[in-house]
Homo-oligomer: A and B are copies of this chain.
Amino acid sequence: MAATLTERRLFILKIVIQEFVETATPVASEMLVRKYGLGFSSATVRNELATLEDLGYLTHLHTSAGRVPTDAGYRFFVENLMERTSLSLAEQRMIRHQFYQVRGELDQWIQLAGAVLARTAQNASLVTPPRAEHLRFKNLELIGIHETMVLAVLVFHGGIVKQQTFSPDTARSAEDLRRSAGRISDHLADLTISQVEDVIAHDAQQLAPLFGDFERGVIDMVIHAMQTFEEQAREQIHSDGLLEMLSQPEFIPSLTRDDAERAVERLRRALEILKSGRGFGQLIPQALASEGVQVIIGGEHSEDEMREYSVVLARYGVGGTVTGVLGVIGPTRMAYPRSISTVRYISSLMSNLLGDLYAGETRPHVEGGQ
């Protein structure tokens, strides 16, 4: 039972997994011998395969089919067998160039990160916007659109901007609006929601002369906007690369009836997972609390719907304050080395970009730097 993992067995396990990842078909003993010019016969390989199966790293779908890695097999591969590579310098340069094209536009970074992850890892990707735990107010601008409509531009620390229109009870001049905005900005500068609420609650008397009905209304709106914005931010997950993932063989039905049916079902499920974000909901906070690249393989997920998928995640951001999560999701049969190096590279790239937005924070250096 308790067979040992000889050098040869490790090697066979490794090539079985690599082979399966590449071809998506169960791998046979004979084939390994031929393709890799192994110095021993297929019967020997079969014996080894049987042992690896006993150890739980491989399985059989049915008696006369080739071997397929189990989740445990992938886990072992990721932990002990695969070589840690980096993206090629050419790829790195190309990616950096794309980010350079949209310099200065945070929203675009996120979109681009998703697109690049998907294309590079040939799987779906997910990116959450970088967010501080709590929004910190920085500045408010009020711009009259017409007599009864005002555009409020709220700026928060970290270059986060939110716009919101509202119609005040009484018309106000541009000058009035500017003054009001200035007064409010001065008083709320650098505060979080709860601090804003505190200030308003406690200093009501002192503020009364400065803040009329209009200003009170605006502040209420600011609080409301910050609250909903924080809530949205917590849940917001950009996903991309659906098509890339769907071009994986798992989703391309062979000619047999039930496989086609299963493929459609898988497809629909995958869609639901990506669209709703259910399935990796809990993964995000978990990843936010970790360092380095996280890999969650198939059955290791806590949700059933995810047990056919693996996720490669990494935190990115500056220091411990403004962070987001990005990663790749795909079938458990995934090119882990590539996914991992992609996620690692993009996350450090994004960290660097964000670093430029924040002064005085520690700034990790990206491989092959910018």
- Smallest CB–CB gap between A321 and chain B, Å? 14
- In the bound assembly, the distance between CA atoms of A260 and B148 in angstroms comes to 57
A143 contact from B155, B163, B268, Cβ within 8 A: B155
Instruction: Tell me whether A159 and B141 are in contact (CB under 8 A).
Output: no
Contact A164-B257, Cβ < 8 Å, known A151-B159, A153-B153, A159-B145: no
Nearest B-chain residue to A163, judged by Cβ:
B161
Q: List 22 A-B contacts (CB under 8 A).
A: A104-B166, A104-B221, A106-B165, A145-B158, A145-B358, A145-B359, A146-B359, A146-B360, A149-B359, A153-B153, A153-B161, A159-B165, A161-B163, A165-B357, A167-B356, A242-B271, A243-B271, A246-B271, A251-B264, A256-B257, A257-B260, A263-B264
Known: A103-B166, A149-B359, A151-B155. 15 other contacts (CB 8 A): A139-B143, A143-B155, A145-B159, A145-B359, A146-B360, A149-B356, A149-B357, A153-B155, A159-B165, A243-B271, A243-B275, A251-B264, A253-B261, A256-B257, A260-B260
Interface presence of A105 (CB below 8 A): yes
The quantity of this chain's copies bound in the complex is 2
Nearest B-chain residue to A160, judged by Cβ:
B163
- In the bound assembly, the distance between CA atoms of A256 and B255 in angstroms comes to 11
- In the bound assembly, the distance between CA atoms of A146 and B164 in angstroms comes to 25
Instruction: Tell me whether A255 and B257 are in contact (CB under 8 A).
Output: yes
- In the bound assembly, the distance between CA atoms of A275 and B124 in angstroms comes to 14
A147 contact from B141, B146, B246, B359, Cβ within 8 A: B359
Instruction: Tell me whether B161 and A161 are in contact (CB under 8 A).
Output: yes
In A101-119, which residues have CB < 8 Å from any B CB? Answer: 103-107
List residues of chain B with CB within 8 A of the CB of A158: 145
- In the bound assembly, the distance between CA atoms of A106 and B103 in angstroms comes to 25
Contact A163-B106, Cβ < 8 Å, known A243-B275, A257-B257, A271-B246: yes
- In the bound assembly, the distance between CA atoms of A158 and B165 in angstroms comes to 11
